[in-house]
Amino acid sequence: QVQLVESGGGLVQPGGSLRLSCAASGFTFSTYAMRWYRQTPGKERELVAAISSVGGVTNYADSVKGRFTISKDNAKNTVYLQMNRLKPEDTAVYYCNAKGPINEWQYWGQGTQVTVSS
């Protein structure tokens, strides 16, 4: 029923750009806050960016502020993460997360690998 499918990950050079997509289905997308997390081996999951269900208010981790942009298209049930001026430390598995009107309503995608290396 509920699905979050990430795509767009891959290998990029430092300073390059990449756009991740998360296609959602099985729930009312427009009523959910959407978030991107990332995780590397041996480290805790980190919140990268978030966008609210109402008003499109965005928040970013300090480490990506000014370089990453989160956006969504309600008509396509899709959330995006535009990543610019990528650094090797951005290398991680990136996960899409949906948070509904009730806190218990949360869903996760399977993740997409982003590798920043020369």
Confidence of residue 48 (pLDDT cuts 50, 70, 90): very high
Q: What is the pLDDT of residues 10-37, one digit of tens each?
A: 999 999 999 999 999 999 999 999 999 9
Confidence of residue 55 (pLDDT cuts 50, 70, 90): confident
Count other Cβ atoms within 10 Å, centred on residue 10.
11
8-state DSSP, 10? E
The pLDDT, as a whole number, for residue 101 is 87
Lookup: tokens for 54: 């109402």
